[in-house]
Amino acid sequence: MAVKPEPQVGIMDIALYEGGHATLDGHTDVVKLSSNENPLGPSPAAIQAFQSASSQLNRYPSTDHAELRDAIGKVFDLDPAQIICGVGSDEIISFLCQAYAGPGDEVIHTEHGFAMYRISTLAAGATPVEVTENNRVTDVDAILAGCTDKTKLVFIANPNNPTGTMIGGNEVARLAAGIPKGAILVLDGAYADFVDDFDGGADLIAQHDNVVMTRTFSKLYGLGGLRIGWGYGPKAIIDVLNRLRGPFNLSETQMAAATAAVLDVEYTNHCRQENARQRSWLISQLCALGILCDASHANFVLARFSDAETATAADLCLQKNGLIVRGVAGYKLPNCLRITVGDQASCERVIVALKEFKGQNQ
């Protein structure tokens, strides 16, 4: 038998991640509402910092990200020595799996949890374990019941994607206290910035040496195109992750833009308020059309239809009107569409298109 190169265990079980589509054949005036991007874009200060950093492209970037970590630490009142920066929070998720899970180990994620938890787990050769949610809400009891002595990581996103739901601080604290001491609880805060006065669970990190938080510049900060995220955790864990991190994983342009973005607190607050305003308008209009959605704490809403066929038909109607939203059948929600909260004009276009759809399908 011919010998050929074989990838490591788990790699061929990975289904390729599918990003939100950005174009529609035959449409020029397309609105992309499929990737939870900030419709207002990044802070003007971030764009300016990016541009001025581009004059030094011949220079290698800083390896320790000190300036960016200091800025994050200042704004979020965190110790910069406990922060690690990565190529999106995806990279931090991947470091966690590589460092703490391998063949024979289990990594828990919830029923409708973010796809990268499973992908990074398989890439590390470990076994993803899915636990049920309670009507699209993270179920702490189900997670605790799913823990075994093989559990090495537990991922929850709070708020969750693609559901937009969130659990309260007491529930997260109960989870942190209940998981095996040899496992790490990862609090994915990609959407934490959209919640008023919420620290993403950072307070729990002071109390436990096995809790880590991940955050991103891709959502509220409007820098999805630049790929910058960060993690915060006990020093011992951050030290482990830094050993896996490439020395030049972030460019100076990325770091300059992110530093300026995080320091522009006024712009960040403006974006958060705008999102909350448009989101409540969108939800109220969807409800008026008889389309159900859970209370969302993020920058998207999950619209629920009676069945998968109706959701697909609604998606086609939106596409006909130049609107790209996200079908979430891959997240075990075939009767739902995830719609990013866009600017006012985009939200209005969504409602006009869905009114047309409802008119045709009563």
Ligand X SMILES: Cc1ncc(COP(=O)(O)O)c(C=O)c1O
Least separation in angstroms between CB 118 and ligand X: 12
Interface with ligand X (CB under 6 A), residue from 38, 43, 82, 89: 89
Where does this chain touch ligand X (CB under 6 A) — which range of 42-50, 88-96, 141-149, 203-211?
88-96
Residue with Cβ nearer ligand X (157 or 258): 157
Determine, following the binding rule CB under 6 A, whether residue 188 of this chain makes contact with ligand X. Answer: yes
Determine, following the binding rule CB under 6 A, whether residue 216 of this chain makes contact with ligand X. Answer: yes
| Residue 127 near residue 121 (C-beta atoms within 8 A) | yes
Where does this chain touch ligand X (CB under 6 A) — which range of 54-62, 83-91, 270-278, 306-314?
83-91
How many residues make contact with ligand X (CB under 6 A)? Answer: 13
Pattern 114-133, ligand X, x by CB under 6 A: x-------------------
Least separation in angstroms between CB 362 and ligand X: 34
Break the chain down into helix, strand, coil percent, rounded to 5: 45, 15, 40
Least separation in angstroms between CB 36 and ligand X: 6
Least separation in angstroms between CB 55 and ligand X: 26
Determine, following the binding rule CB under 6 A, whether residue 88 of this chain makes contact with ligand X. Answer: yes
Residue with Cβ nearer ligand X (90 or 199): 90
Amino acid at 23: T
Determine, following the binding rule CB under 6 A, whether residue 328 of this chain makes contact with ligand X. Answer: no
Query: How many residues belong to the chain?
Result: 362
Least separation in angstroms between CB 87 and ligand X: 7
8-state DSSP, 187: E
Interface with ligand X (CB under 6 A), residue from 158, 161, 165, 299: 161
Residue nearest to ligand X (CB): 88
Helix (H) or strand (E) holding 86: strand 83-86
Where does this chain touch ligand X (CB under 6 A) — which range of 8-16, 216-224, 251-259, 354-362?
216-224
Footprint of ligand X on 189-208 (CB under 6 A)? 190
Q: Choose among 157, 128, 330: nearest CA to 229.
A: 157
Q: What is the dihedral of CA 323, 328, 329, 333, to 10 degrees?
A: -120
Helix (H) or strand (E) holding 320: helix 308-320
CA distance 122 to 8: 10
Residue with Cβ nearer ligand X (204 or 353): 204
Which residues, 6+ apart, have CB-to-CB distance to 225 below 8 Å? none
CA distance 93 to 218: 15
Beta bridge partners of 31: 323
Residue with Cβ nearer ligand X (111 or 354): 111
Residue with Cβ nearer ligand X (143 or 354): 143
Number of CB atoms found within 10 A of residue 177's CB: 13
Interface with ligand X (CB under 6 A), residue from 53, 157, 237, 257: 157
What are the angstrom distances between the C-alpha of 231 and each of 47, 48, 158, 293?
A: 23, 25, 15, 30
| Residue 302 near residue 328 (C-beta atoms within 8 A) | yes
Interface with ligand X (CB under 6 A), residue from 38, 218, 275, 321: 218
For 224-247, b where at least 16 C-beta lie within 10 A, e where not — what string? Answer: bebbbbbbbbbeebbebbeeebee
Interface ranges with ligand X (CB under 6 A): 36, 88-90, 114, 157, 161, 188, 190, 216, 218, 224, 229
